[in-house]
Chains A and B, each alone.
Chain A
Amino acid sequence: MSSETKQILTTDGIPLEVSLKKAEKKNKIKAFLLVAPLLLFIIITYVFPIGDMLMRSVDDKMVTEMLPKTFKSMEKWDGQDLPPEEVFEAFYFDFQKLIEEEREGKLSTQLNYTKNGFKSIIKKLRRKSKSFEEGNYKEQIMSVHRRWADVEYWRAIKRRAPAYTYQKYLKGVDMYENEKGEIINVPEDRRVHRILWMRTLEIAFFVTVFCFLMAYPIAHLLATLPMKYSNLLMICVLLPFWTSLLVRTASWMILLQQQGIVNDFFVMIGLVSDDNRLEMMFNKTGSYVAMTQILLPFMVLPLYSVMKTISPSLMRAGKSLGGTPFVAFWKVYFPLTIPGIGAGCLLVFILAIGYYITPALVGGASGTLISNQIAFHMKSTLDWSFASAMGLMLLSGVLVIYWLYNKLVGIDNIKLG
């Protein structure tokens, strides 16, 4: 009994299985075509640009392109003693070309990043090289400044030969590669980024904890109250949620200032004296307080939607089986809310870790986060490749949490409002 004889045919004489598959495929294409415009849009304007950030963060072609002959001739040089005459000659010709194009300043800035002291000797070389004679460039260049006769500086140039580098990532965690190619920590007094990473994690973690502690009781209240009252109270959660972030930050700036209402209140109840008002703004306290209030709705909403589905009879059952209300809560109710806790905590943590506006306004110097540092390098130092590297380091952290969130909660289960 072969399967062919048993095949069911449609009216057109095509086997049903084939026909169904065809229809299925058609439906698949139809569904995909609907998603395609948005998907393409997001990929072109968003996903690719993030890839572009990755390219920028490792890109080091600038020096490679400025000194092509030098790096070619350096290939044979072992880096032990001073480079041979060809290297000096190649460097001289590369350098002359840069002077013609007026790009020697850029070279000196770039090389100075690698090793301090390049700026002045390149300037000097530029001046002296006008009167150079043909031949024996090694002697002539070395006579410009004694640093040109120092092998360390030639090694520093050679280190810039590769078109790609991971230096920016090392810098992001306060490390660097020294002359011998070892990766070492920067001196303790100059470590800024590690402190920022730790502070970002610390603030995000505590904001999440505070949000959880505050959101749990009110989500419970909202879920257990009769509809009539809970709808009204829900407005209290949703109003801040819909209000402009800047408005909410502004209100905290008013409240927390030294002459502000919170301080007035503390003075009134005698907690602090009038001439000794607390500084709650432009420091960590400001970041904590404002961020907790701003992110609180993001914790309440997922908790509420989970608690809403828990039947009150479960608690009653727990109690009727001899548990005290606390035991019933802890053994029955709390475990059922864990999905909501997971969703809320991950959401708040993700949002907090990338916060920028609020810390910039109320955080001061001690309350700023990694995002502020990225913005600083984008706008002030214009070191875009470093900003990109820091951004991607932050992004990889967020993506891990996003992946976890997707696993635990499912992206399609995100609820809004």
Chain B
Amino acid sequence: MALPKYTEPHYRIWHYVYLTICAAVFFFLVAPLFVIFPLSFNAEEFLVFSDGMKRLDPDAFSLRWYQDMIYGTKNPWGLAAKNSFIIAIFATIGSVILGTVAALGLSSRHMPYKGLIMAVLISPMIVPLIISGVAIFFFMAKVGLAATHTGIVLAHIILGTPFVVITVTATLSGFDHSVTRAAASLGSDPVNTFMKITLPLILPGVISGGLFAFVTSFDEVVVVLFLAGLENTTIPIQMWTGLREQLSPTILAVATCLIILSTLILVTAELLRRRSERLRGINR
């Protein structure tokens, strides 16, 4: 941001102060994530930068914690990763289907009690997770689904649908309903219209909602802590136990993998968002 030439000196100073503040805040936001990278390659067991690392000595770096993550004895990460992915994938599918269908109904202008129903559907996102955890645990224990994958998937569908509902409703708000009417007038039945016309147009919103649902499930720990048995352990549970007991570099190796995963998801989500904006721009 270049300042105009006529800017008075004290405003000029203020402007640089402002930029410095912004830089500091951005640093505060992002820097903590980057501490994890180098430390996960630490050759030693301690979670501080060793003298060798400060000198950039190649011997001070190693992949041993990554090896430990994959091949380590009594290693929980393999099972946890498998469970996490299975649960997150099914939870995402469930959330996307239920959420998208509901969003279609909610964006209809004929929908009765829209505000109230929306408030109920969004509530799992607003209610503190600990309360959701307790409530869902009581329910799952009652129907005998505690400590099962099914129970955890259902719980994550509850937590994931609000995101799908929000993103898909937002996409549908710019949706031109005359195209579906045109399809109907050309003899298409509603299901066909949805698959051929509506879905391709709202797909970016659906996928980005799905990504939110996936991340929510993949990262969720509070509810899972109540529901999971030993067999259902997930990556967040292992991280949680590890962080509580002893912070080991293996956890940092896992964390690095998670950061890479979230970067990939972020990039996908951003590209989709821009594509969606472009598509809707054309529609208008």
Contact = CB atoms under 8 A, between A and B. Distances in A.
The 8 lowest CB-CB distance pairs between A and B, nearest first, are A354-B128, A34-B105, A35-B105, A31-B108, A49-B135, A38-B102, A27-B110, A49-B139
Chain B contact surface mostly: helix
Interface residues of A, number: 89
A325 B4 CA distance: 13
B202 interface: no
Contact of B111 (A35, A235, A240, A247): A35
B120 A398 contact: no
Given A39-B117, A252-B32, A253-B243, 6 more contacts: A46-B132, A47-B123, A50-B135, A218-B22, A239-B33, A371-B129
Interface residues of B, number: 92
19 contacts: A38-B161, A39-B121, A215-B25, A221-B19, A221-B22, A236-B30, A237-B29, A242-B266, A243-B33, A245-B219, A249-B243, A251-B32, A357-B221, A371-B128, A371-B130, A378-B137, A394-B130, A395-B127, A411-B119
A387 B128 CA distance: 14
B158 A217 contact: no
A233 B25 CA distance: 11
A414 interface: yes
A325 B102 CA distance: 47
Interface in A24-72: 24, 27-28, 30-39, 41-43, 45-50, 52-53, 56
Contact of A46 (B19, B124, B247): B124
A406 to B, nearest CB: 6
A360 to B, nearest CB: 8
A360 B236 CA distance: 14
B33 A361 contact: no
Interface stretch (B57-65, B66-74, B179-187, B255-263): B255-263
B282 interface: no
Contact of B255 (A239, A250, A260): A250
Q: Interface centre among B29, B118, B270, by most A CB within 10 Å?
A: B29
Contacts of B16: none
A395 B131 contact: yes
Nearest to A48: B139
A269 interface: no
A375 interface: yes
Contacts of B263: 239, 242
A24 B111 CA distance: 10
A248 interface: yes
B267 to A, nearest CB: 9
Contacts of A350: 126
A188 interface: no
A31 B111 contact: yes
Contact of B262 (A56, A242, A395): A242
Contacts of A48: 139
Contacts of B252: 250, 254
